[in-house]
Amino acid sequence: MALFGQTFVTGILIGGIYAVIAVGMTLIMGVMKIINLAHGALMMVGMYVCLALFKSFGLHPYLGMIPAMIILFGIGWLLQKYSIERVFGVETILPESQVLLTLALGLGITEIIRLIFTSNYQCAYTPFSARCFYLGGMSISQPYLVGFIIAMAFVAALHILLTRTDLGRSVIATAQDRDAATYMGVDAKRITNFTFALGTALAAAGGAMLLPIFYTYPDVWHPYLAKCFIITILGGMGSTVGALSGGLLLGVAETFGATYWSPGYRDVVGLIIFVLVLLFLPGGLKKVIGR
Amino acid sequence: MAEIKTMAKKSWFLPAILGIVAIAFPPFLGGYFQHLLILMMMWITMATAWNLLGGYTGCVSFGHCVFFGLGAYGGGLLYLHWGISPWWGMIAGPLLAIIAGIPIGLVTFRLRGPYFALSMLALGETFRIVFTNWVSVLGGACGIVSSRTFGVEKLPYYYIALVIAALSVYVVYRLMHSKYGYYFVSIREDQDAAEGLGIPTTRYKMYALIPSALFTGLAGAVYMNYMAYIDPEVVFSLAGISIMMILAVMVGGAGTLGGPILGAVIFVLLNEGIRAAVGPISYLIFMVIACLLIMFLPDGIIGDWAKIKRAFRGKKPVYVGGE
């Protein structure tokens, strides 16, 4: 029973951190209607910003998260404004050219990071990383728990931003109907830039929470990108509640796969869920919750 | 229309010259250049195969590494378990790719656009993880080592790769000039309209997938025999195989016959050719070029050739849209 509980708790904790990364992607996907494959790479940049701050100033990743988010907000805004916006709505042979652009951007960013920081595995090791406490036979790792709490705070803040403020409502309006939002006086272009930047900043926050737990290297983002779009499809586009439930579900499913099947197949569980959801539950959990 | 006719008249000229150059010159080149040419032929095959499904039929697949990897593993597994020459992989590999491709197509062709792309990506990753972890049957993460039949001699590999590349281009050319080709393009342009006109879209997507899987698998088998070493992280690589195939096609021009060829040549030249001179930046240079091309010439070099010509003549680009 302790093993079951342990697996469940770890799954929930890691799922919360996944949710923060994915919530950024689901926002971008909701507003722009494209899959942003640069999301993972931008998360990785966030990790490296935190790492650089940690290495040079000894700033703990949880504090480094704030400058990292600000920097990534700027990078996201610039990328969207000067690159992705250009191919928005352009008629091409393949309608997926925007997706491919984000992909090429992501890989390019990875190479830039590789040139600066080399491919070596690096980690921000603090004494805090290994600390854990025991609760009824289960050991709960502190960095997981703190990461989870911060992640939940971010998701809650984002939810309030989206539902209670003017800016957030403009984002939702743009996601629902771009033209109608424009007629209502929403600057859709600006809102798109803002959404992309906000999503990127959230990815950076997620990266910062992962940094004390895992190590980082320029290609670290591949599995996280996969997790992000699994959660996005699972939760439904543009929904914070969907992304949160999707993230928790994926985290739990993965840890159960790792415990009871094989750690090597951990990521396969998510991918199988992904294909099954696409086939049998298009629209994701959002549809089920909304009903 | 007139332009198309004159192009058809001249159409034998360029391939003939290229063919003669490709057959006659390589024996006089050094080993390194022969290596580059082998890679080029392999990538031409892969990009052409991807283009048939992605560029012409409009099913942008982010998981073609499945077929490449299975093509490579076909021979590898025969060698690993029974000690049979990996050359039999030239048959077993593509066959394996097709056998896997049919159920994959049946499942994923129900999805459209980005969802199809992502589900293929998920399948590619699944294959990579399974091939990494299933040590007893598939060799696991250490991969499979075989030995090269021709030792350090590169020419035989080059001619085999050349024949396969030429065959893939020829097959795609013939397909696209038949009823199938028009069906493929109609599916890409508007799937609902195509279905409305009575085209069984799923079946025709399958007809595009099978040759695509076949040639990608053949390229994988060539890779297996040439490199004499495969491991899942390389042959099922998302960033190294699946995505590079797409970007090579996008650089050259999706949905054109010459696009994948040009794109593959540019890709290999930038990625391998200038690596000696500039080091690891070569990969970054390719990515920057890919970004700029998608931003300014979204249909690739061949697809937007008219735009490039106009730009060089100093005229403003005219966007020919709704004729």
Mention every residue, 6+ apart, whose C-beta is less than 8 A from residue A267.
Answer: A223, A226, A254, B125, B129
Please tell me the number of Cα atoms within 13 Å of A113 on its side-chain side: 27
In a domain, B122, yes or no: yes
Contacts of B232 in chain A (CB under 8 A): none
Residues A128-183 have pLDDT tens digits of 777 777 877 778 888 888 889 999 999 999 999 988 998 988 888 888 888 888 88
Q: What is the pLDDT of residue B253?
A: 86
A105 touches B: beta carbon within 8 Å: yes
Tell whether A136 lies on the interface with B, counting CB pairs under 8 A: no
Domain containing residue B301: CATH number: 1.10.3470
Pair A173, A186: CB distance under 8 Å: yes
Say what the pLDDT of residue B315 is: 62
Mutate to test the interface with B, among A94, A98, A117, A279 (most CBs of B within 10 A): A94
d(CA A38, CA A99): 9
Distance, CA of B275 to CA of A7 (rounded, Å): 46
Q: Which residue has the higher pLDDT, B169 or B18?
A: B169
Per the CB < 8 A criterion, the answer to whether A31 and A174 are in contact is: yes
CA dihedral A15, A18, A19, A22 (to 10 degrees): -150
pLDDT of residue B321: 47
Q: Is there a domain that residue B321 lies in?
A: no
How far apart are the C-alpha atoms of B245 and B295, rounded to whole Å?
Answer: 18
The band of B65, judged by pLDDT with boundaries at 50, 70 and 90, is very high
Cβ proximity of A233 and A278 under 8 Å? yes
Residue of A nearest to B282 (CA): A111
* B198: in domain: yes
In angstroms, what separates the C-alpha of A216 from chain B's closest C-alpha? 18
- d(CA A46, CA A50) in angstroms, rounded, equals 6
Does residue B167 sit within a domain?
Answer: yes
All domains of chain A in start order, with CATH: 2-290 (1.10.3470)
pLDDT at A222: 85
What residues are paired with A138 via a beta bridge? A135
Residue B317 maps to a domain: no
> Which chain B residues are within 8 Å of A267, Cβ to Cβ?
125, 129
Of A101, A112, A271, the CB nearest to B294: A101
The parts of chain A modelled with pLDDT lower than 50 are none
Does any domain span residue B319?
no
Task: Name residue, tokens 């990108």.
Answer: A225
- Band (pLDDT 50/70/90 cuts) for residue B18 is confident
Evaluate whether residue B63 is within a structural domain.
yes
Count the domains in chain B: 1
- Within 8 A of B239 by CB-CB distance, chain A residues are 107, 219, 222
> Nearest-5° angle of CA B19, CA B24, CA B30?
120
Hey, which of A65-74, B73-82, B306-315 has the most confident mean pLDDT?
A65-74
Q: Which long-range contacts (CB under 8 A, 24 or more apart) does B141-145 make?
A: B141/B231, B141/B232, B141/B233, B142/B231, B143/B229, B143/B230, B143/B231, B143/B232, B143/B234, B144/B73, B144/B76, B144/B77, B144/B79, B144/B80, B144/B229, B144/B230, B144/B231, B145/B228, B145/B229
Q: Is the pLDDT of residue B317 over 70?
A: no
The pLDDT value given to residue B206: 92
Q: Is A20 exposed, middle or buried (0-12, 13-18, 19+ CB in 10 A)?
A: buried
Instruction: Say how many CB pairs under 8 Å bridge A and B.
Output: 120
pLDDT for res B5? 47
Q: B109 lies in a domain? A: yes
Give the minimum alpha-carbon distance from B116 to chain A in angstroms, rounded to a whole number.
Answer: 9
Contact between A108 and B121 using a beta-carbon 8 Å cutoff: no
Strand partners, B229: B145
Give the whole-angstrom CA distance, residue A171 versus residue B76.
52
Task: For residue A165, give how far its alpha carbon lies from the nearest alpha carbon of chain B (Å).
Answer: 31
Pick the most confident of A170-179, B205-214, B292-301: B205-214
Residue A141: DSSP 8-state: E
Six-digit token string for B228: 């004499």
- Domain that includes residue B225, residue range: 2-312
Q: pTM for this one?
A: 0.86
